[in-house]
Amino acid sequence: MGAKPNQKKPKSFIHNHINDDSSESESETFFIRTRFRRINGVNKVNESSPTIEITINGTKCVFIIDTGAPSNLMSAKTYFKLVNKPKLTASNKRMYGYNSDEQIPILGTFETEVTINGITSKTMFYVVNDKKSTENLLGHPSLKEFKIVEIMNQVTTYAHCIEQKFKKLFENRIGKMIGVKVSILTNPDVKPSQQPHYQVPYHLIPGTKEKLQELISNEILEKVDENTKVTWISPMLPVQKGAQKGKSKTKGIAGQQREMASKSSIRITSDNKKLNKAIIRRPRPMPSLQTLTYDLNGKKWFSKVDIRDAFNQLELDEASKVLTTFVTPWGLYRYRRLNMGLCIASDFFKKYFKQN
């Protein structure tokens, strides 16, 4: 069988190969990456290509946004439709199609003022003298100059955009429910108790002091002045978070103690056993498993939400703050927010959480 005749490959990309006759230096090679497809002998741009409408000398023209193109190309068809056609200047540059030796004829160039996004600049256009080419390309230099596209040196995730837009919500601080103040009621027949402080283990002292200061800066605690009259005083009880029993083979007891001494591993609570006996509870029923099963019937998507320091997001009224006073080796403190250890903490949280 004889060899098949050479078939010319269809142009799938335009390759801008520009030679300047006035220079003896090597030719520069550019790539215009807009995809074309042949339909009835006419080059048409893929429908998914982004475009922008530009007014040139009073005529609206549609250009394809091509970040790979080094220059702006205008079809002769578009040029002759311009109401006020600028005078063309001959060009000594030569352009070739991608993977082709066929030269793309340049009718000429013109420069005119263009305004995009409030930016006005003199812009150069190359007019392509080819009846088959009907599309206009806006190249990378103009796209950058008119701020149509921006070169990014990093990938920005959607989550990062949300975090930047709502910076205040993502600060490392404890939030607060707006317009909510918890009022703790006590039985007047129960005599107030003022207890002495508990000894803090030596290796927890630095972290406990730092944690107290952090809670003050987050408006969870406040220092009580020595001259302030108090009724109830409970002892502070620092709790180690994530403490494991037994010795660590790698860190040893000293290493474990240093790790647990950090403020991030300590939770400040108070021993409210006696205060809880005086508090008047207003219990709220927990939903039963059967109720939850009925509510979740037919559901497909589920999310788990862990609220950070949930109780601390409810503010106490002034009278209730006095009741939460606790003693430490370094003086008296009291809560400004609802705190762990109070028997009514979960009752109030369920109430306001459901309302909001």
Q: Which two tokens stand for residue 309?
A: 């320091």
Beta-carbon neighbour count of residue 138 at 10 Å?
31
What pLDDT score does 183 carry?
93
Write out pLDDT tens, residues 78-115.
999 998 899 999 988 877 766 667 777 889 999 999 99
Closest to 112 in 3D by CA, of 76, 63, 59? 59
Q: pLDDT band for 158, please (50, 70, 90 cuts).
A: confident
Residue 189, CB-side half-sphere exposure with 13 Å CA sphere: 1
**What is the DSSP pairing of strand 326-328 with strand 234-240?**
parallel
* Residues 215, 339: Cα–Cα separation, whole Å: 12
What is the separation, in whole angstroms, between the first and last Cα of the chain?
82
* Residues 80, 136: Cα–Cα separation, whole Å: 13
What pLDDT score does 131 carry?
75
Write out pLDDT tens, residues 163-215.
888 887 777 778 888 888 999 999 999 999 999 999 999 989 999 999 999 99
DSSP β-bridge partners for residue 77: none
Residue 95, CB-side half-sphere exposure with 13 Å CA sphere: 24
CA distances from 89 to 127, 190, 208, 320 (A): 10, 100, 79, 85
Write out pLDDT tens, residues 226-284.
888 899 999 999 988 765 544 444 455 555 545 544 556 788 999 999 999 999 988 77
Beta-carbon neighbour count of residue 71 at 10 Å?
21
Q: Say if CB 71 and CB 126 are below 8 A apart.
A: yes
Give the contacts of 247 (CB within 8 A, at least 6 positions apart). 253, 256
DSSP at 311 = G
What pLDDT score does 42 carry?
29
Which of the pair, 30 or 210, is modelled with greater confidence? 210
**What is the DSSP pairing of strand 73-75 with strand 326-328?**
unpaired
40: left (phi over 0), alpha (psi -120 to 50) or beta: left
